[in-house]
Amino acid sequence: METAYNLIGAGLIVIGGGIGLGQIGGKAMEAIARQPEAAGKIQTAMIIIGALLEGLAFGALLLGKN
């Protein structure tokens, strides 16, 4: 039964990541469509904040597991 609860916890992490990355990615595309010439700046910010969240998610996954 151990692995099953593990997957539920992992599922919550992915929900968290999905809420965050979906919001970030969706708005990033909206922003590019509005200012195509600012696509570079937007993609930079998207990757910074995306990496911050991705790091938090994998950090929690590994710290929560050990």
Residues 5-44: x/- map of binding to its own copies (CB under 8 A)? Answer: xxxxxxxxxxxxxxxxxxxxxxxxxxxxxxxxxxx-xxx-
- Closest contact distance (angstroms) between CB of 26 and its own copies is 4
The DSSP 8-state label assigned to residue 16 in this structure reads: H
- Closest contact distance (angstroms) between CB of 40 and its own copies is 10
- Closest contact distance (angstroms) between CB of 7 and its own copies is 3
What is the sign, positive or negative, of the torsion defined by CA atoms of 13, 15, 16, 17? positive
Binding site residues, its own copies, CB under 8 A: 1-39, 41-43, 45-50, 52-54, 56-66
